[in-house]
Structure 1
Amino acid sequence: MITPVRTTTAVVTVLAALLEQPDTDRYGTDLMRATGYPSGTLYPILHRLQKAGWVEAAWEQIDPVAAGRPARRYYRLTADGAEAATAEITALRRQLAKAQQPTTKVRPA
């Protein structure tokens, strides 16, 4: 079951980065580069998205000594998460387009 997520600008930015390659596992540093957000912003968003069922996460299966680096935690949109992310971004684009439309005001004569 997918849980609604409060979609702030930062959340939408992370969702858009994940949607760029929806079938690819993305790790934190990669997503920090893609979004421009530091770890203190990115990881709480990923945690909320994971808790809501929009994102799944898994640790990389490597030998850190052989790889010369720690294992990475990879993130990927779930099928429901990709659908919800697309809907949220579409709704935001509509809202922004509507806000940018000039309004005609009637001036008193």
Structure 2
Amino acid sequence: MANPNRGEVALPVGDREYRLSFSVNAICELEDALNMPVSKIADGMNDAGSIRMSMIRTVVWAALQDHHDSVSVKEAGQIASEAGIPTVMEAIGKAFALAFPEAEDKANPRKAAKRA
């Protein structure tokens, strides 16, 4: 079961549930696979007009690596197909948000002050 307190998001696929997360290692794998910094990857994921399916597949693959490291890139594509692209995009978005919570802290000065 996915634990959002650990940055995990559930991706239901048929009778299975996969856990997506973006740890430092998963982000490094993603950056290496796409040869792009994570900020550009995030920007690309938000640009529906220019996003490539190969990028979505690679992002799903990287998000699976923390908990399902035996899944290949091709298998990640099959998982994404079975789950459905809208479901996958929503799960990826949530996982990215959990991986980068400091954007939320900037909106809430109390949280940011507590960290200082």
TM range, smaller chain: 0.3 to 0.5
TM-score (structure 2 length as normaliser): 0.36
Bigger proportion of residues as helix = 2
* Max Rg structure: 1
TM-score (structure 1 length as normaliser): 0.37
